[in-house]
Structure 1
Amino acid sequence: MTQKTKLIDRILGKKAEAAQGAASVLSVPVVSKVSKDFTRFDRFPGYEKMLVPKAAAERFGLANPFFVSHDGLAGATTQIDGREFINFSSYNYLGLNGDQRVNQAAKDAIDRYGTTVSASRLVAGERPIQRDLERALAQVYGVEDCVAFVSGHATNVSTIGYLFGPKDLVLHDALAHNSIIEGIKLSGATRRSFAHNDTAQLDQILADIRGQFERVLIVIEGHYSMDGDIPDLPAFIDVKRRHQAFLMVDEAHSLGVLGATGLGLHEHYGVPGTDVDIWMGTLSKTMSGCGGYIAGERALVEHLKYAAPGFVYSVGLAPALAAAALQCLEILRQEPQRVQQLRQITQYFLTEAKKAGLDVGLSQGFSIVPVIVGSSLKAAKLSNALFKTGINVQPIIHPAVEEKAARLRFFLSNQHTPAHIDTTIAAICRSL
């Protein structure tokens, strides 16, 4: 064997050894030096933060006011552990949840279509009841079309997240719902907030930076669920027109509540529905179901139906929910007095609370009245004390609101009576 041949064999031998070595290295598990904090769910910062108020509540002997199990229908009153409570913790504003006509409509839809449509409407088709609901909602706003989603929260997230992008600007009220904020984050658009219901500040922000962006969206709510107040819709429409922006109104808590016949914010102000670019709402309050919707011009709706991830990649709205919501809209048209009853009882609560010296914040007395007590601990204690007397109302504590704005939040129903209110105000005053 020549020297050349020996050299070649030696090189090939070393390559083979190297390959075997690499294989053996790859076969040995690599153990990374990672802190156990990053491998345990109980070490997530959010979970550890959640344990702090829980521990404080236990130290003060407070019962957990959340996830209370109700024995049946939650309306103006409810049953908890076999005991009746005056209930201020549900969105059954017009008392339609549990109405026999609504129940029957849902049952009939189940008998015809089953409990689910089993797939996305885009790829597997839809049911007439879904389109009937969407057409009825479009009529409420006097716009061209509507599309229903299976989740109210997802409606905002998917709509805002899909329609707008990194070259755009989204401005929102400082008290906007979490779903709005999450949608903006998903979009990648620049986000700016303006002081609550402050059109002057919004106008100034747009005057300063509107030219830096392509599309601009302004998002407000029709009825703010933490405070019970409403925006000046005509003023917002004026701002959006002058700055060539889109305006989106979240009607989750205003449909069925505002306006002489409950048609919402546009009816309250006598404004054409077409003056707002995007109407959003939920099916879980006045309409006694679950889900959300977007109403507006046909191009907007068709765009969402063919491309918005929260619609395209999600199962269609369950027939029973669509039927229940549609029946609620029909009852709303037939019995507008329900809206007036709600208005009257909420105004009574607001008036009596003020007489008692309670801080009701910004509430305008449509269906929501907060009682602000100024600390999370005080709010939790008050909720516990009222529960013991047979009144169910939830505390809203930090970080959901600022610590100094901690409160109890009362959702009224047209089924509440003056006696319910008198009993509740007296109990609050005794407990405080």
Structure 2
Amino acid sequence: MQSTNIKTSEQRRHDAMALLARQSGAAKPAGSKAIQRPPFKLEFDIRDFSTYPEIRAFDQHKSIIERAGVENPYFRSNEGTTGRHTRINGKELISFSGYNYLGFSGHPHVNEQAKTAIDQYGTSPSASRLVTGEKPVHRELEAALAGFLGTESALVFPSGHATNVTVIGHFFNSEDLILYDELSHNSLVEGCLLSGARRIAFKHNNVEHCERLIAENLHKYQKILVAVEGAYSMDGDLAPLRDFVRLRQQYPVLLFVDEAHSLGTVGSTGRGISEYAGVSPNDVDFWMGTLSKALASNGGYIAGKKALIDYLKYTTPGFVYSAGITPANAAAALASLELLVQSNQPVLRLQNNADYFRQLALDRKLNIGPSLDTPIVPIILGDSEKTIRVADQLFRAGINVHPMFYPSVPQGEARLRFFISSEHRKEDMVYTLDTLASAL
């Protein structure tokens, strides 16, 4: 008769753990006594999140709003389309806190195309595009983007922030070096961290500093990437792209340009900083941009050589393992791009409005920093509490603009950040800056 003394898998696991415990002097197997932590002094209670150092630091930064004695200006609910005006708590305000640069969000053509896409494809792609999530409107949008930008191909991602994180994090590795402008967006820095590459920030818009770093490290790394932004979202200035292209031509490096705020706003037809600087699109390896600003949608894209885009399409984790952009968002971006191709008048209105706002601010002796030729105009006040209180005064006067303070900007450089749109009127801007000057 066959023996029945056969141990179960659970018994075998228990015996193995007991053997390891005897050999190493470790604690007894699970089930006999709780596992002991190694000696380590915790400065916080692991289950009480309010004791965590990073959360305590955050609460300290946030408390500046309470010290200013005003209502929290963040996460206010906008009760309609955010354009020239917005509605908050039933009150209509002039809005300078939205990215609807060209007024395409809420445009009848854009709304109609988004609704049509829902009727045809539903509200979700229902899968990663690699499998069954691909819709015709996705390919139409990518072809239109590549055509508009003058590149061979383009790939759309479901999030602008995630585009930088996943593409940089995936394409570069520990054998590479990433040189990035010190004022680069968080998404770019997060991508650098994910990649494991060595990262060095160069002084803002300082091409000479960047070149020195390239020369010092040229033979130490497999790939070197130089990353800049077309328009910087805190200061409203532009990258000196021609100079960075010169570096790319002189040294074997790759060039990455983030056009989140320059697509549709810079250049005579809104084609961004390549048009503004007179640079061929082929002189940049990675053109990154977002769909959530001038193109009145949501998501991001990378445009460039076909070989690069094909590789990213099949291998980038943030694309392969994520559902695609919704059909409605794809259709809205495509419709906005159609409007942009049809006429550059919204672009010219936007640029004229931004220049007018800058001049009004300078006339009133307000500090606009280096803002130039972009729709982003900071009014730098310096003191954080003062900036928060002034933003509250403007809000009560019917003007919605947000305060930016440390750690979003350096200590002592707190500011009100104004996003100008093509739909703002001169009376909006005069009233706003007169009210601001009075508040100060």
Scaled to the shorter chain, the TM-score interval is over 0.9
In the TM superposition, what are the counterparts of 1:21-100 in structure 2 within 5 Å? 26-30=31-35, 32=37, 35=42, 37-100=45-108
Letter in 1 for 2:125: V
User: What is the match of residue 201 of structure 1?
Assistant: 209
Q: How far 1:25 moved relative to its partner?
A: 7.2
> Could you list the runs of 5+ residues in structure 2 that have no partner in the other structure?
1-14
Would you say 1:419 and 2:424 are equivalent positions?
no
Q: Distance in 2 between matches of 1:178 and 1:30?
A: 39
Query: How many equivalent pairs are there?
Result: 415
- Conserved 8 A contact 1:280-1:295: yes
Distance in 1 between residues matched to 2:172 and 2:435, nearest whole Å: 48
Cα shift at 1:189: 0.5
CA distance in 1, matches of 2:122, 2:63: 45
Cα distance in 1 for residues equivalent to 2:424 and 2:375: 11
Q: Deviations over 1:49-90 (max 9, x none)?
A: 121133343233121111011111111111111111010000
**2:258 pairs with 1:250:** yes
Aligned AA for 1:328?
A: S
Partner of 2:187: 179
Partners of 2:415 and 2:429 in 1: how far apart?
A: 17
RMSD value, Cα: 1.8
Deviations 1:82-116 (A, max 9, x none): 11101000000000000010000000000000001
- Structure 1 residue 163 corresponds to structure 2 residue 171: yes
Q: Aligned to 2:369, which of 357, 361, 368?
A: 361
Report the 3-state secondary structure (helix = DSSP H, G, I; strand = E; otherwise coil) of the residue aligned with 1:212: coil
Matched residue, 2:237: 229
**Contact 1:350–1:365, Cα closer than 8 Å, also in 2:** no
Deviation string, structure 1 residues 250-276 (Cα, Å, up to 9, x no partner) = 010001001111111111122211111
Aligned-pair CA distance for 1:30: 3.9
Q: Secondary structure at the match of 1:260?
A: coil
In the TM superposition, what whole-angstrom CA distance separates every residue of 1:137-161 from its partner, at most 9, and x where no partner exists?
1112211111100000000001100
| Equivalent residues of 2:100, 2:294 under 8 A apart | yes
The alpha carbon displacement at 1:23 in A equals 7.5
Is 1:216 the counterpart of 2:245 in the alignment? no
Is 1:141–1:274's contact at 8 Å kept on the other side of the alignment? no
Residue in 1 that maps onto 2:161: 153
SS in 1 for 2:111: helix
Q: Report the secondary structure of 1:254's partner residue.
A: coil
- 1:284 counterpart residue number: 292
Structure 1 equivalent of residue 360 of structure 2: 352
Match of 1:372 among 380, 386, 391: 380
**SS of structure 1 residue aligned to 2:179:** strand
Could you tell me how far apart the structure 2 residues matched to 1:394 and 1:46 are?
24
Equivalent residue runs for 1:252-401 within 5 Å: 252-401=260-409
Q: CA deviation at 1:209?
A: 1.4
Alignment deviations for residues 9-64 of structure 1 (CA, whole Å, 9 cap, x no partner): xxxxxx9xx99x99787333346588552222222222211211333432331211
User: What is the deviation of 1:125?
Assistant: 4.8
> Given residue 262 of structure 1, which amino acid in structure 2 is its aligned partner?
G
Distance in 2 (CA, whole Å) between partners of 1:268 and 1:256 is: 11
The one-letter amino acid paired with 2:317 is: P
Structure 1 distance, partners of 2:420, 2:250, is: 38
What one-letter code is carried by the residue in structure 2 that aligns with 1:355?
Answer: D
Q: Flag the structure with higher helix content.
A: 1
SS at match of 2:62: helix
Is this contact kept in 1: 2:133–2:323, CA < 8 A? Answer: no
Do the aligned partners of 1:89 and 1:393 also contact (CA within 8 Å) in 2? Answer: yes
Whole-Å separation in 1 of the counterparts to 2:212 and 2:101: 37
| 8 Å Cα contact 1:176/1:221 also seen in 2 | yes
TM-superposed deviation, 1:385: 1.1
Between 202-211 and 46-55, the greater mean CA deviation after superposition: 46-55
- TM-score, normalised with respect to structure 2: 0.91
CA contact (8 A) 2:123 2:328 kept: yes
Which residue pairs with 2:8 in the alignment? none
Q: Distance in 1 between matches of 2:168 and 2:121?
A: 31
Report the secondary structure of 1:235's partner residue: helix
In percent, how many aligned pairs have the same letter? 45
54-63 vs 286-295, which moves further: 54-63
- Which residue matches 2:5? none
Mapped to 2, the partners of 1:304 and 1:409 lie a distance apart of: 35
- Residue 75 of structure 1 aligns to a residue whose secondary structure is coil
CA 1:124–1:66: 2 relative to 1, 3 Å:
same
Change (3 A) 1:388 1:246: same
SS in 2 for 1:153: helix
